[in-house]
Amino acid sequence: MFKINFASQSAFKMNENNPHLEALNDIRQMMKQSNRFLSLSGLSGVFAGLYALAGAWFGDIIINNYIDAIRAGEEGLKAYNKMIMQCILVSALVLGLSLATALYFSAQRAKKTGQKLFDHTAWRLVVNLMVPLIAGGGFCLAMLYHTDERALMVGPATLVFYGLALVNGSKYTLHDIRYLGYLEIGLGIIACFLPGFGLVFWAIGFGLLHIIYGSIMW
């Protein structure tokens, strides 16, 4: 009889404390969300993937034009510099369109959910993303400067550094970004051993993976 009464009293206390536990869980969830940028839209990833596939297509045309120019007797360094400038222009266009699209859809989602687009969490996310990206960009430009076989490693290097940026920035946004980063790093490492297929891996990493991830997220 004593055991039954004791169990009843324990159950009563648990039920009595439930509202407080729920309040604590709500506060914990709010604190967790305040430390993460949650306005990312899956559609921005889909569009970034489409832009990347278009950029890879243009890149293939540029590389083929470079090969044809060399075969036609054009000066090697001149043709190489022309190809590099065209590739940088295409890459900058892809990056600019991707950022503009991400900002647009993120602003729409932030407005819908009543959140601020640029708060302290968003800036922390940007900083943690930019550090590996800037380091990787400088590293890739250095390889392009040497105008030799090292230039073939630019595609794999961009995938690796981009993956590192995603893993680093995932602490301040959706956890799923971390897994996309792991895939980008793995793909980049594989591409290092197949330098002749760098553009193909680049299209898979920045194109198809973004489309798949963005679709799932959306």
Cα angle value 87/89/91 (rounded, 5°):
70
d(CA 199, CA 156): 9
Question: Using one digit for the tens of pLDDT, what is the confidence trace for 125-142?
Answer: 788 888 888 999 888 888
Alpha helices, DSSP H, located in 72-208: 76-113, 120-145, 154-169, 176-192, 198-203
Q: How confident is residue 147, by pLDDT bands cut at 50, 70 and 90?
A: low
Percent of the chain at pLDDT above 70?
78
34, 121 Cβ separation under 8 angstroms: yes
Question: Using one digit for the tens of pLDDT, what is the confidence trace for 12-71?
Answer: 444 445 655 655 555 455 444 445 555 577 788 899 999 999 999 999 999 899 888 888
Q: How confident is residue 6, by pLDDT bands cut at 50, 70 and 90?
A: very low
Chain-centre distance of CA 12, in angstroms?
Answer: 49
In this prediction, residue 72 carries a pLDDT of: 82
In this prediction, residue 121 carries a pLDDT of: 75
Place of tokens 């990787």: 136
In this prediction, residue 177 carries a pLDDT of: 84
Cα of first residue to Cα of last residue in the chain, in angstroms, is 56
Q: What is the DSSP string of 28-77?
A: HHHHHHHTS-----HHHHHHHHHHHHHHHHHHHHHHHHHHHHHHTT--HH
- By three-state DSSP, how is residue 11 classified? helix
Structure tokens given for 217: 């997220």
Question: Using one digit for the tens of pLDDT, what is the confidence trace for 20-33?
Answer: 565 555 545 544 44
SS3 helix, strand, coil % of the chain, rounded to 5? Answer: 90, 0, 10
